[in-house]
Chains A and B, each alone.
Chain A
């Protein structure tokens, strides 16, 4: 009888220990972290999740957990960097599912405006790789106006950056 009670107690302790360590592993410690390190930490964690997870829903629940943790800090810079990191780690292929996971998280409930603007700007930067804006590719928005007026980095060849023989041409 005593043996079986002792055995049960050991099993319960082991199970509890395992659960606690899993919970701790899921927590990235964003609250205590230096804000500058949040982005790289989240990015690394999400990339790892994509490599090890069996399906996208598993990754998405991890993303949601990270975003919940970021929301708990109440620090807008941490939330912003976490969003950028999640979306960058997911890349173009997983963009929409990443956004869905972010939108379904506590971060979106507590900071809707911040999440909306950060997601939209990050998405624009990630998807811009598809083209447009390049002279040799066509595309580009004609109604934008642009015009930087007096660009200090347009040296007109007076500074020694461009190849003088092939002006303006990346070799």
Chain B
């Protein structure tokens, strides 16, 4: 089992290096809300509605991150929102200042996802591959690009 996890991590690292994508926080907010929380968010919800929903749950997206089209999502950022979602679904979310706190037994969110078998590396690769096709329509619309 450990070898398999190690293999997936190595594979995802190789993919991450080879994929040319510009993943933004705005894209991540829309995909996360309409993916993991699709039962709660309308399929045609706007970026601002997706971000508001996630922030209300404690899966934090700052205004600065959302508004900055140059700021790129890192693997740790990605693991944070996935980890926060996991904690929310488990009913173990400890919300501090509006954000779900990282459990003390993990040094980083990437570690948290690895330790809890969340599979964030696999999702991260899928996310990067999706972003290779460009920004989502909701994000383009928000920034007046269409």
| Complex contact B38–A144 (CB within 8 A) | no
Q: Per-position contact with A for B20-56: 1 when CB-CB < 8 Å, else 0?
A: 0000000000111011111111111110111111011
Question: Which among B30, B38, B40, B89 has the greatest number of chain A C-beta atoms within 10 A?
Answer: B89
| Complex contact B88–A128 (CB within 8 A) | no
Q: How far is the CB of A84 from chain B (nearest CB, A)?
A: 5
> What number of A residues sit within 8 Å (CB to CB) of B?
47
A112 within 8 A of B: no
Instruction: Name the segment of B9-17, B103-111, B137-145 touching the other chain.
Output: B137-145
B6 within 8 A of A: no
Instruction: Name the segment of A53-61, A66-74, A115-123 touching the other chain.
Output: A115-123
Q: How far is the CB of B126 from chain A (nearest CB, A)?
A: 3
| Complex contact B35–A155 (CB within 8 A) | yes
Pick the residue among A39, A136, A145, A152 that contacts B123 (CB under 8 A): A152
Pick the residue among A84, A147, A161 that contacts B82 (CB under 8 A): A161
A151, B41: Cα distance in complex, Å: 14
| Complex contact B67–A128 (CB within 8 A) | no
Pick the residue among A81, A117, A133, A166 that contacts B52 (CB under 8 A): A133
A160 within 8 A of B: yes
Specify which chain B residues have a CB less than 8 angstroms from the CB of A126 in the assembled complex: 63
Q: Per-position contact with A for B99-129: 1 when CB-CB < 8 Å, else 0?
A: 0000000000000000011110011001101
| Complex contact A150–B130 (CB within 8 A) | yes
B90 within 8 A of A: yes
Specify which chain B residues have a CB less than 8 angstroms from the CB of A168 in the assembled complex: 36-40
Q: How far is the CB of B12 from chain A (nearest CB, A)?
A: 13
A134, B43: Cα distance in complex, Å: 9
A168, B38: Cα distance in complex, Å: 7
The verdict on A84 contacting B30 (CB below 8 Å), with A121-B142, A154-B35, A162-B89 known, is: no
| Complex contact A124–B118 (CB within 8 A) | no
Q: How far is the CB of B131 from chain A (nearest CB, A)?
A: 9
Specify which chain B residues have a CB less than 8 angstroms from the CB of A128 in the assembled complex: 46, 48-49, 51-52
| Complex contact A81–B64 (CB within 8 A) | yes
| Complex contact A171–B90 (CB within 8 A) | yes
16 contacts between A and B (CB under 8 A): A80-B67, A84-B63, A88-B63, A118-B67, A129-B56, A133-B50, A134-B45, A140-B49, A144-B45, A146-B46, A152-B127, A153-B34, A160-B116, A161-B118, A167-B39, A171-B91
Task: List 5 tightest A-B contacts by C-beta distance, closest first.
Answer: A133-B49, A153-B35, A171-B91, A152-B126, A146-B44
B residues adjacent to A (C-beta < 8 A): 30-32, 34-46, 48-53, 55-57, 63-64, 66-68, 82, 85-86, 88-91, 116-119, 122-123, 126-127, 129-130, 136-138, 141-144
List 15 additional A-B contacts (Cβ < 8 Å) besides A148-B34, A151-B34, A154-B36: A84-B63, A85-B64, A118-B67, A128-B52, A135-B42, A140-B42, A141-B44, A144-B44, A146-B45, A151-B31, A152-B35, A153-B32, A160-B116, A170-B37, A170-B57
